[in-house]
Structure 1
Amino acid sequence: MLTPSAHTDTFCRDNLPPATDWPEFVFDLPGLHYPDRLNCATALLDSTVATYGREQPCLYTAEETWTYGDLLDRANQIAHVLTGDYGLVPGNRVLLRAPNSAWLIACWFGVVKAGGVVVTTMPLLRAPELTKLIELTRPVLALCDSRLLDELSTADPALPVVPVGGPTTDDLTARAATKPASFTDVETAADDVVLLAPTSGTTGVPKATMHFHRDVLANADTFSEHVVAPRRDDVFIGTPPLAFTFGLGGLMVFPFRVGASVVLPEKTDPDTLVDAIEKFAVTMLFTAPTTYKALLKRDDLGRVKSLRRCVSAGEHLPEVVYTNFHERTGLRIINGIGGTELLHVFISAADDDIRPGSTGRVVPGYRAEIQDEQGHPVPDGTPGLLAVKGPTGCRYLADPRQRDYVRNGWNMTGDSYTRDADGYFWYHSRSDDMIVSAGYNIGAPEVEAVLDQHPDVVESGVIGIPDADRGMIVHAAIVLRPGVLPDPDKARELQGFFKATAAPYKYPRSIEFVDSLPRNPSGKVQRFKIRDRWSGTR
């Protein structure tokens, strides 16, 4: 039963899936019982300032350092801009578009303090992708880095956009500077939606996961508290965008829950990352296996000696990467599996509990089992489908795919796993058409939809293929129109077309030209046959 909402704009409540389609939520830990009225911005920012003081270091960038007091003041000023200048009311959605930065975090808190709902977007998204998300989530306003305005204005010219970080007088930073530094946070309900987090759909149509104020805190009070175990004196850094829930947790929610600080480099290449770790004496690293592989190729890993915790998620961590990194640095990488539908990691292990090659055991506060296709639990040692439940879970915004993800109260993650007799979970593969490349989730149909827009492409079929550095890469089998030469130049042209049309991280790094695509009697593309054919040519 939902508690009375504080939202004047009822869009989110109106578009929650029916309660009968929700997963079962369990609150096994005492720390997961939150008051009925809860604003997670108040809990993560105002309460932290009250506990540790305004002068506690909070955010480090290449240009400046913000204390918790600085962030609180700017978040409050932004809340005044939103409510006073733009008439934001509780429940309105606000789209955020920016690289990781102090001002992006201030915007996030400003929206939430005002009772708004944050719609997080990747800065790499192109106009067609943004258009779909805008149509799905219906934001009333967008806060956009001044360098990223073009794609957003193309996506929806009617959407009001406030630039952030530019020199104009209408810039959010200029507007905020004129506002009071105190604000009374809206007393939202613990089960009011605070976040619409988009995730790629295997049908090519995006989904938005709906998360409550209590959900944001629950991930800090499960995985972070019981596995990562951060301290106030920790300094966090990471590569995932804050638009990813992996980044939102590791680079904002988890450190802020304990009063720690965060380094926010805009670039996250290995050189920049190592420089920042050394400069700021970083102790906590959140990134994907791809980055750990890249770091292992360096001969200066002694520069990251300040690290005490390394967390990996987004894709499977190979045992050899864990072992080599441990031998080179003495650090044990905390592996984990999470998902946008559940916000963050729900299976993991740290320190002496780690078994290299395994994802780990169930995070305190969650439950997991391996099921067969009919939804029955299978014996330990038997491969099957990973099913999870806990204090967070899947609620898709007005989407019939809710019934595909939730089965008999369990969240079905789309991963094939085995559990051993000691409760450790061992990854096998994705069980759907999702490609996980360098920590990015890429739906095969969404890649096909972009490629098929090219005038020379008759049709395409996309799969993921193994890659030593990225775990998997996107491979496209493409049928060209008659008379078009299937050569390397055409492959490069199609890759360039894709990068100009959609987020570049999704582009097919491998292309083969074929006469036709394999289909079943009903006409559906049989991607497994594309995969088999690719394997047979290796």
Structure 2
Amino acid sequence: MNVPRPAGQASAHVDTFARDHLPPPEQWPELSFDLPELRYPERLNCAAELLTGPADGRPVFHSPAGPAWTYGELRARVDRLARLLTGDLGIVPGNRVLLRGPTTPWLAACWLAVLKAGAIAVTVLAQQRPQELRTMCEIARVRHALCDIRAVDDLAKAEIPGLRITTYGGDAPDDLLRRPGSHAPFRAVDTAADDVALIAFTSGTTGRPKGCMHLHRDVLATADTFSAHVLRPHEDDVFAGSPPLGFTFGLGGLLVFPLRAGASALLLEQAGPKQLLPAIAAHRVSVLFTAPTAYRAMLEDLNGRDGHGGHDLSSLRRCVSAGENLPAATWRAWHERTGLRLINGIGATELLHIFISAADERIRPGTTGVPVPGWHARVQDERGEPVPDGRPGLLAVRGPVGCRYLADARQREYVRDGWNLTGDMYVRESDGYFRYVARADDMIVSAGYNIAGPEVEEALLRHPDVVEAAVVGRPDEARGQVVVAFAVLRAGARRDAESLRAFVKAELAPYKCPREIVFLDALPRTATGKLQRFRLRTGGDSGADADAGTHGDQQ
């Protein structure tokens, strides 16, 4: 069942900005709904669907900060929040609502309430800085924000015109959680299945973030493909992981998938490798989502006489790896140490979650896997022609979810001839397995984070001493790649790498900060003035004097 363009159902949105700024129909990818479970009704509110089913007393969210929430408590809290949003705050269907804070049950409840009220969730990272927040709010025309009181400072500093910030988790009488409100059930807004439910921002190679618009049916489709057919969760599973809800990897793994399965999730504010291992034992986590970098780091802590370094991993049965390529050596080391088979996968913010993967006996270390049921993939050349098996080319994907950028000319680059081009180079083996080769563009992938070099360059250029800047990724065994910056300073300026790193860290999320800064007299360019990035990646320079500064942890 192929749908090449929007179905054009009657929208429930009063604020039509998002729908009005979808790409024109001819620029949509071809959508396929091959599986019967993907043929959703025309009217669908995904938050209401996710909250329907499990008994009131079953656990849904665990947290180190307090007792577990039950499904009954979550439903009541979401309904109360939705009433406050549509009453006190005046939010109407179609409004974009920014969500910001660490990963907690209340952030998850706010996300569900926003969607149940027919509004559009724009979940951002608690790490992101004022300039980044301001840009995203400008692109999506956000006028409402729900923010954890502990993460409000940078949002306030962004000074976004017309933005109404409502905090939660604080002591003020107007705090969202302290406002008086009705406890009566809230009837979900009767959204169309193709109404926009969320806008997820991803870094672009030009440095300007791209807003990926996803529909109510898209949210369920990720659960009804990868989760249902590859992960195959049980209702007694406890999900946990490192990605925050601002990443679609975390949104699926920590919220959508467990709720769709009637299971529960452990939501951790701090979810690095050091926190994950004890949390697995303490909360009997059975399904884990994190990046290869974290699995490698956890292996270091699993040394000991019992092979687990004293950590009890007996509850684990599923471990999902995504965000960057999973080396075969990491897969084998994890399997040897734990007996668990890592489920590798590739996803994209543009496609919401994982679309190529394999589990159990179908896993082949060193490959990503095969197309998830409901998805199709091929490898093609620059002209859009399929290449023979065994030959590298561009990965092209289509399925029930597709790329729809918010008013962005880069839609034509990502979607060509009905296929989504992910920007990855792959080889399709003769037996249908897909093997990752490299990124096809200048995106830097470090410890599972996508980092656009031009965005970091722009931050460097905001420093008064920087005349020119170039940023590339260098291979790194532990992190996949690290960010390396090359800077040309104004005459007489002091070459102080640490000071410049501190400046960038104040401008951007810490994980985007260069791990190394190299000072040059001039950047390497062609005779026509084009920057020769390949010379920077391979360690070469312009032939001018260079001075490197390397220091600090990349967070």
TM-score (norm 1): 0.97
Tell me the equivalent position of 1:379. Answer: 388
Paired residue secondary structure (1:462): strand
Tell me the equivalent position of 1:510. Answer: 516
Cα distance in 1, alignment partners of residues 194 and 527 from structure 2: 46
Tell me the equivalent position of 2:96. Answer: 93
Tell me the equivalent position of 2:353. Answer: 344
1:179 aligns with 2:182: yes
Cα distance in 1, alignment partners of residues 480 and 314 from structure 2: 26
Tell me the equivalent position of 1:413. Answer: 422
Tell me the equivalent position of 2:115. Answer: 112
Amino acid at match of 1:424: Y
The superposition leaves residues 280-333 of structure 1 with CA deviations (integer Å, 9 ceiling, x where unpaired) of 110000000110010010122642221000000000001100000000000000
Tell me the equivalent position of 2:283. Answer: 280
Tell me the equivalent position of 1:32. Answer: 38
Cα distance in 1, alignment partners of residues 181 and 15 from structure 2: 27
* Counterpart among 160, 167, 170 of residue 171 in structure 2: 167
Cα distance in 2, alignment partners of residues 421 and 236 from structure 1: 35
Tell me the equivalent position of 2:154. Answer: 151
Cα distance in 1, alignment partners of residues 528 and 427 from structure 2: 33
Deviation at 1:179, TM superposition (A): 2.4
Amino acid at match of 2:356: I
Deviation at 1:517, TM superposition (A): 1.2
* Counterpart among 197, 200, 211 of residue 197 in structure 1: 200
Deviation at 1:518, TM superposition (A): 2.0
1:269 aligns with 2:272: yes
- 8 Å contact from structure 2 (residues 343, 357) kept in 1: yes
The superposition leaves residues 402-441 of structure 1 with CA deviations (integer Å, 9 ceiling, x where unpaired) of 0000011100000001010011111111011111111111
Tell me the equivalent position of 1:231. Answer: 234
Amino acid at match of 2:60: C
1:484 aligns with 2:496: no
Tell me the equivalent position of 1:58. Answer: 60
Deviation at 1:157, TM superposition (A): 5.5
Tell me the equivalent position of 2:551. Answer: none
Cα distance in 2, alignment partners of residues 534 and 284 from structure 1: 44
Tell me the equivalent position of 1:79. Answer: 82
Tell me the equivalent position of 2:530. Answer: 524
- 8 Å contact from structure 1 (residues 89, 114) kept in 2: yes
Paired residue secondary structure (2:214): strand
The superposition leaves residues 210-256 of structure 1 with CA deviations (integer Å, 9 ceiling, x where unpaired) of 00000000000000011011010000000001010000000000010
Unpaired runs of 5+ residues, structure 2, are: 1-6, 304-308, 549-555
Cα distance in 2, alignment partners of residues 524 and 199 from structure 1: 26
Q: For the structure 1 residues 181 and 237, does the alpha-carbon distance in structure 2 shift closer, same or farther, using more than 3 Å as the test?
A: farther
Deviation at 1:120, TM superposition (A): 1.1
Amino acid at match of 1:158: G
Cα distance in 1, alignment partners of residues 226 and 278 from structure 2: 28
Paired residue secondary structure (1:463): strand
Paired residue secondary structure (1:473): strand
- 8 Å contact from structure 2 (residues 63, 268) kept in 1: yes
1:448 aligns with 2:457: yes
1:260 aligns with 2:260: no
Deviation at 1:150, TM superposition (A): 1.4
Cα distance in 2, alignment partners of residues 499 and 406 from structure 1: 34
Cα distance in 1, alignment partners of residues 143 and 490 from structure 2: 42
* Counterpart among 313, 331, 334 of residue 325 in structure 1: 334
Cα distance in 2, alignment partners of residues 202 and 86 from structure 1: 36
Cα distance in 2, alignment partners of residues 302 and 147 from structure 1: 31
- 8 Å contact from structure 1 (residues 295, 301) kept in 2: no
Task: Name which of structure 1's ranges 259-268 and 512-521 shifts more when overlaid on structure 2.
Answer: 512-521
Structure 1 residue ranges, 4+ long, deviating more than 6 angstroms after superposition: 535-538
Task: Name which of structure 1's ranges 85-94 and 520-529 shifts more when overlaid on structure 2.
Answer: 520-529
Tell me the equivalent position of 1:472. Answer: 481
- 8 Å contact from structure 1 (residues 144, 162) kept in 2: yes
The superposition leaves residues 258-280 of structure 1 with CA deviations (integer Å, 9 ceiling, x where unpaired) of 11000011001222211111011
Amino acid at match of 2:438: S
* Counterpart among 124, 127, 131 of residue 127 in structure 2: 124
Task: Name which of structure 1's ranges 373-382 and 523-532 shifts more when overlaid on structure 2.
Answer: 523-532
Amino acid at match of 2:72: G
The superposition leaves residues 183-204 of structure 1 with CA deviations (integer Å, 9 ceiling, x where unpaired) of 0100100000000000001101
1:313 aligns with 2:322: yes
Greater share of helix: 1
Deviation at 1:521, TM superposition (A): 4.6
| Aligned residue pairs, count | 530
Percent identity for Structure 1 against Structure 2: 57
Cα distance in 2, alignment partners of residues 521 and 485 from structure 1: 29
Cα distance in 1, alignment partners of residues 276 and 381 from structure 2: 42
Deviation at 1:349, TM superposition (A): 0.5
Cα distance in 2, alignment partners of residues 215 and 385 from structure 1: 24
Amino acid at match of 1:229: R
Paired residue secondary structure (1:148): helix
1:422 aligns with 2:431: yes
The superposition leaves residues 327-374 of structure 1 with CA deviations (integer Å, 9 ceiling, x where unpaired) of 000000000000000000000011110110101111110000000111
Please report the RMSD computed on the Cα atoms of aligned residues, expressed in angstroms: 1.5
- 8 Å contact from structure 2 (residues 278, 311) kept in 1: no
- 8 Å contact from structure 1 (residues 302, 329) kept in 2: no
1:68 aligns with 2:67: no
Task: Name which of structure 1's ranges 157-166 and 404-413 shifts more when overlaid on structure 2.
Answer: 157-166
Tell me the equivalent position of 1:12. Answer: 18
Deviation at 1:523, TM superposition (A): 3.1
* Counterpart among 484, 489, 499 of residue 493 in structure 1: 499
Deviation at 1:520, TM superposition (A): 3.6
Amino acid at match of 2:439: R
Cα distance in 2, alignment partners of residues 412 and 389 from structure 1: 9
Cα distance in 2, alignment partners of residues 525 and 252 from structure 1: 43
Cα distance in 2, alignment partners of residues 494 and 103 from structure 1: 37
Cα distance in 2, alignment partners of residues 301 and 259 from structure 1: 31
Amino acid at match of 2:48: T
Cα distance in 1, alignment partners of residues 117 and 27 from structure 2: 30
Unpaired runs of 5+ residues, structure 1, are: none
Cα distance in 1, alignment partners of residues 488 and 263 from structure 2: 53
Paired residue secondary structure (1:37): coil
Deviation at 1:522, TM superposition (A): 4.5
Q: For the structure 1 residues 527 and 301, does the alpha-carbon distance in structure 2 shift closer, same or farther, using more than 3 Å as the test?
A: farther
Amino acid at match of 1:374: R
Cα distance in 1, alignment partners of residues 529 and 110 from structure 2: 47
Tell me the equivalent position of 1:457. Answer: 466
Q: For the structure 1 residues 231 and 414, does the alpha-carbon distance in structure 2 shift closer, same or farther, using more than 3 Å as the test?
A: same
